[in-house]
Structures are given as structure tokens and as C-alpha cells.
Amino acid sequence: MIRTSARLAAAIALAVLFSAAHHSAAQDQTPASPAAAPAPSAPAAAPPAFPKPDPADFTADTPSKETVNAFMQANLGFDPNGVWQVQAIEKTSLPGINRVVVLVGDKSGKQQPQRFAFLTAPDMKHIIVGDRIVPFGEHPFEEGRTLLQQRANGPYRGSAAKDLEIVEFADFQCPHCKSAQANMDKLATDFPNARIVFQNDPLPSVHPQSVPAAEYGVCVSKLGGSPAFFTFASAVFDGQDGLASADGATLTLNSAVTKAGLDPAKVSACAKTPETKSAVDASMQLAKELDISSVPTLVINGRQVPANAPYETLKQIVDYQAKANGLSK
């Protein structure tokens, strides 16, 4: 569920792929007239013809064109068909804030190039995209990666090492989070060397039972470890309709605890403690510090991606991010 407007993952990291999906042409199913002449062969696709940049549009010394290209590579490099061109780096009327314009296209030339514009912050470590503040630079995901290595302490499956860390921020009552679990299971299978972490990020204003579900999850993990948690989580998502009311939530959560092999009474008592509330609050605070604007969100070595994106795209991104960090999957 989206908390704010445009997010970088939609604006740039998946721009090429999603634009291709939205603009794919439907097949013409109209029968051809017997008298119609054969249709001419379609011309071969060619890379986009970006307009030549005007030197007059490069009035700012920072960021450098090389830094912008490195940032674009970090975001779009997962797609072998993605191409871009830095079109402008110009001063604004505000000291220390410059405007950058990049044209983004694809190598097939089937898509119209898209304009991606942003403002740089004075520290040159962040940019402003719409109403979002986004990490910037040649290695824009490193700060987020380090933060998660230090503080993403939720239950996990896969490797104990944090070299390739995929952190899922989710809400048990969110339908999109439920549908994303198929992707999570595939990632666990395809990337056995990854550490796949679950972090609670409930949205109580929208999903009133998401906080009790998160508190139960913390206690299941505490009392039964990560294997028990993921059995519990699967059962809660499967029975998500039961979270529509407080009474239904109690039945659903207790049933999930039983399936995880634990005592519902003990888990319920644990869920009511201040320590458990603090654990859920800390996970929500971590999401806030990362400026996570929607659930479900994956953070792949610091890089945010919608968890319910097409699976092949997620797999491409994980592969690319692993290689960018000098890892094998």
C-alpha cells in the first residue's frame, strides 16, 4: 500500500521495464480484407535518437556528468536494454541546489524516451524527486545497506551472513503483502546464499489488526525461532480475511501460532509486553528512517524495490545487485 506519491523505484529503477509493459501493442485481430495488399515489413528497431545536449544547459559544476551516469547505472544497470543520456546539469536560483535532466529509453527504440529530472541537495548525497528525498551518488545504496546490516534484526531464512541481504518490510493485513509471498518463496529458492529478513511495518491507520499480528509475530520468533515464524507468517497471510475484526484476528493468530508448534496462551501473553511493543516500534522506525513509502517493499543490499514487482524483474535486480557488490548469488 502506497503511503506517499511517486517513489524512486517506480520513477527510475523500474521505469524502462514498466514503460515497456504499459506500451506493449495489442495484436490486431481484425480479419484482413481479401483485396488488401500485403502489409509492408516493419523497419528494424533502432536505439532511441536522443537530441544532442546543448552545452548551454550545463551551467553547474556539480554533480559531474560521471557521477550522474554512475547513479543511473546503479539504478538502471539491471536492465540490459536500458539506455540514457544526461541532458542538462544546471544551476537554479537557490544556492547549492542544481537541476539534472536525464533522458531514459531502451535499446530497441520502441519506446519514446522519457524525461527524468531531479534537484540535487547541497550535500550532493541526496536528490529531490517529486516529494521524495533519495540517496544519490556513485554508490547510492551503501548507506541503506549499512543501516540494515546493523539494525534489520527480524526473523530470516537462508544465509546467516549479510553479504547479500534482502529485507522485506510488510504488513500482515495488507493484501499486496500477501500476494508478494509467492515472490519471496521464489527468491528463497533461487538465492540460497541470501539472507532474507522479515521486518514488520504495519499501517494501523489502514489495517487495525496489523499491529497485533506484528506483535504475535515478534513473540513467535522469540519463542520458536525463525522457522516457527515463517510457518506462522504463512498461516496468517493464508487466513488474512480473518484479520478483518478483532475477534477474527484473535482466532486467526492463535490458529497460526498452533500451526507453528507453539502455545497460543504463551504467545498472547508475550505479545502484550512493553518489550514486544518496543520491538514492533523499532522496526517501524527503521522503515521510516529508510523513507520506505509503501508495503510490501524489498530492500536488496540497500536498494528499494516493490516486493510485488514481476518476479523476473526482481530476480534480475538481485542478480545485478549481487554482482555490483562483488558477490555471487
Set out the domains of the chain in order of their start, with CATH numbers. 8-16+50-140 (no CATH), 143-324 (3.40.30.10)
DSSP state letter for 124 = S
Packing angle between helix 210-238 and helix 264-271, nearest 10 degrees? 150
The pLDDT assigned to 293 comes to 84
Q: Which residue is it, cell 527524468?
A: 116
Band of residue 47 on the pLDDT scale cut at 50, 70, 90: confident
Q: What is the pLDDT of residues 158-189, one digit of tens each?
A: 999 999 999 999 999 999 999 999 999 999 99
The pLDDT assigned to 9 comes to 39
Band of residue 1 on the pLDDT scale cut at 50, 70, 90: low
Q: Is 259 exposed, middle or buried (0-12, 13-18, 19+ CB in 10 A)?
A: middle
End-to-end CA distance of the chain: 29
Residue 28 confidence (pLDDT) above 70:
no
With the C-alpha atoms ordered 222, 228, 232, 234, is the resulting torsion angle positive or negative? positive
Residue 251 confidence (pLDDT) above 50:
yes
The Cα 61–Cα 67 span in angstroms is: 11
CA proximity to 116, closest of 5, 21, 14, 1: 14
- In this structure, of 7-11, 55-59, 238-242, the range with the lowest mean pLDDT score is 7-11
pTM here is 0.86
Contacts 24+ apart (CB under 8 A), 147-153: 147/286, 147/289, 147/290, 147/302, 148/197, 148/286, 148/290, 148/299, 148/302, 151/282, 151/286, 152/197, 152/199, 152/286
The Cα 207–Cα 23 span in angstroms is: 34
